[in-house]
Amino acid sequence: MNNIYILWASIRPNFILETSKKWIDNCVNKDRLFFKIAMANEEQVKEVESFNIPNCEVVAITEKGGYNYAITQLTLNFEANNEDIIILLSDDFSCLPKWDEYIYSKFENYNDAIFLDDGCQDINRKDYACITLACMTFECLKKINKVVFTPNYYHFYSDTEAYQNLIQLGLLKDDRSVDKFVFKHEHHSSGWRKRDEFDVIAVEHWDADQITYHNRIKMSVQDRLNTILG
């Protein structure tokens, strides 16, 4: 059985504590679960390190703001076995018991990406789907130049482009309508949590990210990959 690596960029140490506990408690194969977390500064790194999360490495990424830039720095510098599984986590995702066994089952005789159901999207709509919780093998990550959520965007629309890139490259398996296994996205827009100051900052980039998306989606998938880093 291969390892599962959770790569996670955050600016909220309290979410790291709460969310990591859910994912660890609901994991069957805890010895095969590893965390690599990027925080916004060294003070946050020290705080997260004090949580003593098992199998966890924490770094500070300070050059630029935004989730997409930070998570891309993690994926670009990440190495694993080709069959190891990568999950790009955000602060407000929950998980069901035995979530890891479900994911392992999806990668039996399969080695690319799977579409995890976030409980927020119409699973029948394919024209504007979003990969909000990316899950793939390391081999698949390399096929997309080790970038899932391109830093061409500050915060929004990178998950929409990620869907288009994976589906157009034939790298995505979508069994959501069959499996009905939900990784709930407890987002403020759905009323699952309170909007905070970091959400307010992110929203300021909506218009610019939307323009970027409409420009990039006109490109071929290969051209998007060739410019995935900006």
CATH code of the domain in which 91 resides: 3.90.550.10
pLDDT of residue 205: 82
Q: What is the pLDDT of residues 92-138, one digit of tens each?
A: 999 999 999 999 999 999 999 999 999 999 998 878 899 999 999 99
The pLDDT of 4-27, averaged and rounded, is 96
pLDDT of residue 200: 66
Query: What is the enclosing helix (H) or strand (E) of 33?
Result: strand 33-39
pLDDT of residue 100: 98
Look up residue 140 and give its two tokens: 């698949």
pLDDT of residue 190: 57
Look up residue 85 and give its two tokens: 């599984």
Residue 71's nearest CA partner among 153, 129, 127, 126 is 153
Q: pTM for this one?
A: 0.94
pLDDT of residue 1: 77
The answer to whether the beta carbons of residues 134 and 86 sit under 8 Å apart is: yes
Q: What is the pLDDT of residues 162-217, one digit of tens each?
A: 999 999 999 999 999 999 999 999 855 556 557 666 566 767 889 999 999 999 99
The helix/strand/coil state of 159 is: helix
Domain, as residue range, for 140: 4-226
**Separation CA 159–CA 154 (nearest Å):** 11
Name the domain count of the chain: 1
**Separation CA 110–CA 17 (nearest Å):** 32
pLDDT of residue 230: 84
Q: Are strands 113-115 and 85-89 parallel, antiparallel or unpaired?
A: unpaired
Q: Which residues pair with 218 in a beta bridge?
A: none
The helix/strand/coil state of 8 is: strand
